[in-house]
Chains A and B, each alone.
Chain A
Amino acid sequence: MMQLPCPYCGVRDEDEFRFGGQSHITRPDLNCSDAEWADYLFCRDNPKGVNFERWLHAFGCGRWFNLARHTVTHEILACYRMGEPKPNVTGGAA
């Protein structure tokens, strides 16, 4: 069981949360090319390593927050609120 730290409620089991995909995606200018728009809609970093991602504490406070999580070890390297800048996190135990 993965345990995730909600910045509002503390550490809870993973089945209280819903994954919301990659964080810090900026919508391109609406005059952009089809390829840029497709990249914005469909392509994600999907790293084997540290992923910056959104989570929703669905069965808890109902609020969104960000995690930096290692996708191989599932180690949580940072937890921060929506709107806060991406923390400088690299590495992880793997």
Chain B
Amino acid sequence: MKRYSALSLLAGALTGHRRWTQAWRTPELRNSYDVVLVGAGGHGLATAYYLAKKHGIKNIAILEKGHLGGGSVGRNTQVTRSNYFWPESAAFFDHSLKLYESMSVDLNFNVMLSQRGILTLAHSHHDLEALRRWANAIQVNRIDSELLTPGDVKRIAPLMRMDGRYPVHGGFIQRRGGISRHDAVAWAYARAASALGVDIIQQCEVTGLTIAGNRIRGVETSRGPIATSKLALCVAGHTSVLAAMAGIRVPVNSMTLQAMVSEPIKPCLDTIVLSPIVHMYVSQSDRGEIVLGGGADVYTSYSQRGGVPVLQDTVSALTELFPAFSRLRLMRQWAGIVDITPDTTPLMGKTPVEGLYISGGWGTGGYKAIPAGGDTMAYTIANDSPHPLITSFGLDRFASGALIDEGAASGVAH
């Protein structure tokens, strides 16, 4: 792998940017691998990287039916945070945030992490009471969170309307929360994994799983069969479809989650603002676009297209809170599929089939989980035993009743 540095950038510039090489290999598909990962999104790529880096397993294929980073990792709103309520989620997502903090150095790729803080608003006295409980729980989990007065909020986001239809009674902020460049995260893991010998196979759709004697033996694909004894599903919005190939029913509902960006404007919002009650969150990208999202379209859908009613609700909430944005034009609107579990906690770990692992149920928060998801899945696959951080995220929690009802997973009321 050619290292990127200030010098390599300068050398690239002096040679007219004609000498840059491909960031990852385009390998030939072989007919057998030690580990096969389905899905070249954030979680698949990160899992492959940590398997190769920390566990010495390098004979790995990542199978992707479309193109690398074309699913949810390229469709989210780039938020990373660890302001979770329950200890299990807080420990996992703070591990993830810490890995984000060192990612650019670890992977030698600038993912443009900007820890600008995520500000959660309260619109009534009762909201504020709920936020106080949430913020205190975060502190008990040894993660930073600060309660804010309306004056503090106004100083952080001067464009916000404090006394409109949604009056602002205060809020709390996690200052380590932030945004990063989502494509760069996928590319960084792809480049680093490829350099360690991982084969990333694009345009290769999994059509079936080969299981004999309750053990995974291989996988059927659009480009022929592949033998493997370990296979992990890292497929975001298609966990039900893939798990059904192994006869496993997973407790997820696939829905559409949409996001949109305005035309670019000069810097005017240097934090992420989230309103749980009006169901809207907004930040400004480095390119100047106002990036906003809201709730999911609440019915089962694999369409990757958002409906108009949710778009209208999200935009009207934005313009109520930030009247200055009402004259902006939306440039793009898009959607991805999110797999929402009944307790909005991910599904991770082993399955009833030996050698088959699952990393799914990420709901609306898969992006922020990428490094920790990859790290813990790699451990789980290498040791055939769940990583200590994810022992309570298993499929078995639904029968045992040990749910982690994580209302903070999406940060908004569902």
Contact = CB atoms under 8 A, between A and B. Distances in A.
A5 B308 CA distance: 18
Contact of B398 (A1, A2, A21, A41): A41
A46 B240 contact: yes
Given A15-B309, A34-B399, A42 B342 contact: yes
A68 B376 CA distance: 39
Contacts of B275: none
Interface stretch (B50-58, B85-93, B144-152, B250-258): B250-258
B238 interface: yes
Contacts of A35: 399
Interface in A1-27: 1-2, 13-15, 18-19, 21
Interface in A51-89: 51, 53, 71-74
Interface residues of A, number: 26
Interface string B306-337: 01110000000000000000000000000000
A93 interface: no
B302 A72 contact: yes
A53 B342 contact: no
B298 interface: yes
A77 to B, nearest CB: 14
B300 A51 contact: yes
A43 interface: yes
A30 interface: no
A44 B307 CA distance: 23
B241 interface: yes
A79 to B, nearest CB: 15
B298 A38 contact: no
A44 B253 contact: yes
B307 A39 contact: no
Given A1-B308, A34-B400, A46-B254, A73 B303 contact: yes
A19 B295 CA distance: 14
B99 to A, nearest CB: 30
Given A39-B249, A53-B299, A48 B400 contact: no
Interface string B109-136: 0000000000000000000000000000
Interface in B226-263: 238, 240-241, 249-254
Contact of A48 (B238, B250, B252): B238
A15 B311 CA distance: 12
B251 A42 contact: yes
A80 B398 CA distance: 32
Nearest to B395: A38
B59 interface: no
A46 B298 CA distance: 13
Interface of A: 1-2, 13-15, 18-19, 21, 34-35, 37-39, 41-44, 46-48, 51, 53, 71-74
23 contacts: A14-B307, A14-B309, A18-B298, A21-B253, A35-B399, A37-B399, A38-B398, A38-B399, A39-B249, A41-B398, A42-B342, A44-B300, A46-B252, A46-B253, A46-B254, A46-B300, A47-B240, A48-B240, A48-B254, A71-B300, A71-B301, A71-B303, A72-B302
**Interface pairs A-B: 3 shortest CB-CB:** A42-B251, A19-B299, A38-B399
